Structure 1
Amino acid sequence: MTWSVLHIVGIIAYAASGAFVALQVKYSFIGIFVLGLTTSYGGAVIRNIVLDVPISDIWDRQSLLIVLITLTIIIFLERKWVNHWKRWGYFFDSIGLASFAIQGGLLAKSLEHDLGIIIIASMFTGVGGGMIRDLLAGRTPLALKEETHAILTFLCAICIWFGWSSPIELTIIVIFVVCIRMLSFHNKWRIKLPCNRFENKNL
């Protein structure tokens, strides 16, 4: 599986993520397009602002066409598909997270930034769109409720900083990120910090 295929899968996954969230909160077809486009490009917009790169650079015709086709197909799906998204959405969202985090790291690396900026670029690209999506849907952003979400973007950035760039290496990163995030979700992993010690349930 080449990097271009993974990137396309990531774009489709994030576009679908935004669209199905819009369906869950019963938005109109306008809301589906807004949340789908926001999830797909919101992180890249924030990243380009941070890196001082023109925002217009993110609007390549191929990815935009893929996003619009994906959202148009979802508009004509029956509502029962929302339940299928609840079951598989986290998996595809994880692919999007890895794909976009890598994309952000590669851009920062190509501009010869240091590790700190590469991490920031990976994090904003990976989780930025999803955070904006959740806020527009009136939900608490998922990235603010689970540490694994952001930590995995750091891992992507470090791998890029070490020079991982071949399709095989990037595919390994995506597979690892998806596996760890799915395990984290099913096992409800949390980092044992004082701020994560919840009060007694009866209080």
Structure 2
Amino acid sequence: MLLAAFEMLGLVAFAASGAFAAVWARLDVFGVVVLGLTTALGGGIIRDVLLGITPPTTLRTWPYLAVAAATALAVFAFHPVFARLRKAVLLADAVGLGVFATTGTAIALGASAPVYTACLVGRTTGIGGGALRDVLLREIPLVLRREIYALAALAGAVLVGAGHLLRLPPGPVTVVAAAVVVTVRVVALWRRWNAPVARGTGAPAE
């Protein structure tokens, strides 16, 4: 029950993040809903495909689609109000990242995946929807840029995996791990932490 509620929280957060990105890109209402659904459901669909869960959970359980679509429509309808809350959008994306990275790991462990595999699946669940969002908007995916994003997701996944190995209660471990991901992501944005890039790079000579 806790895992399902946690997933729904991440769904709303990512749907809002995708819908805001679509509004700022000046897409129409259909585009806003599609991008909201893609961002919210993309990571979970990738997770289920990797785990052999077919059809994916989010495509056979109608509340997932309904909640994500309703969130996207709400953002479209009230975006002038939300436009002043850009920091809130970044926070929503951080929450979605933390929730999906950790619940994805927990679901993979529940499907009897090895801990190493579960951590990679969890990380992919966290970053998958956002990567698809950026690709549809013809942007370099956030996960491939300098910002601390995928590393935060991986840290949360590893914490869930470690808790499993130590036989700790999975519910509290998932909540704490998600909080760690959100904290790392928010602090990285606040302090402008970036992953290192190769120095001296530039356009190749012709």
TM-score with structure 1 length normalisation? 0.86
| Structure 1 unmatched ranges of 5 or more | none
How far, CA to CA, are the matches of 1:172 and 1:39 in structure 2? 23
How far, CA to CA, are the matches of 2:169 and 2:72 in structure 1? 30
2:199 alignment partner, one of 194, 197, 200: 197
How far, CA to CA, are the matches of 2:5 and 2:48 in structure 1? 23
Deviation at 1:191, TM superposition (A): 3.7
- 1:1-203 aligned at under 5 Å gives the runs 3-59=3-59, 60-84=61-85, 86-146=86-146, 148-162=148-162, 163=164, 164-192=168-196, 195-197=197-199
Deviation at 1:112, TM superposition (A): 1.5
Deviation at 1:168, TM superposition (A): 2.7
How far, CA to CA, are the matches of 1:55 and 1:82 in structure 2? 36
Which stretch of the first structure deviates more once superposed, 140-149 or 72-81?
72-81
How far, CA to CA, are the matches of 1:57 and 1:33 in structure 2? 19
- Greater relative CO, 1 or 2 (CA 8 Å, sep 6+): 1
How far, CA to CA, are the matches of 2:198 and 2:184 in structure 1? 20
How far, CA to CA, are the matches of 2:194 and 2:172 in structure 1? 30
Residues 104, 121 of structure 1: 8 Å contact kept? yes
How far, CA to CA, are the matches of 1:82 and 1:140 in structure 2? 23
> Which amino acid is the alignment partner of residue 56 of structure 2?
S
Deviation at 1:122, TM superposition (A): 0.8
TM-score with structure 2 length normalisation? 0.85
| Structure 2 unmatched ranges of 5 or more | none
Which stretch of the first structure deviates more once superposed, 14-23 or 86-95?
86-95
Task: Determine helix, strand or coil for the equivalent of 1:140.
Answer: coil
Deviation at 1:13, TM superposition (A): 0.6
Deviation at 1:140, TM superposition (A): 1.6
Give the CA RMSD over aligned residues: 2.1
Which stretch of the first structure deviates more once superposed, 153-162 or 7-16?
153-162
Deviation at 1:36, TM superposition (A): 0.3
Residues 127, 143 of structure 1: 8 Å contact kept? yes
How far, CA to CA, are the matches of 2:50 and 2:113 in structure 1? 12
> Which amino acid is the alignment partner of residue 9 of structure 2?
V
Residues 42, 129 of structure 2: 8 Å contact kept? yes
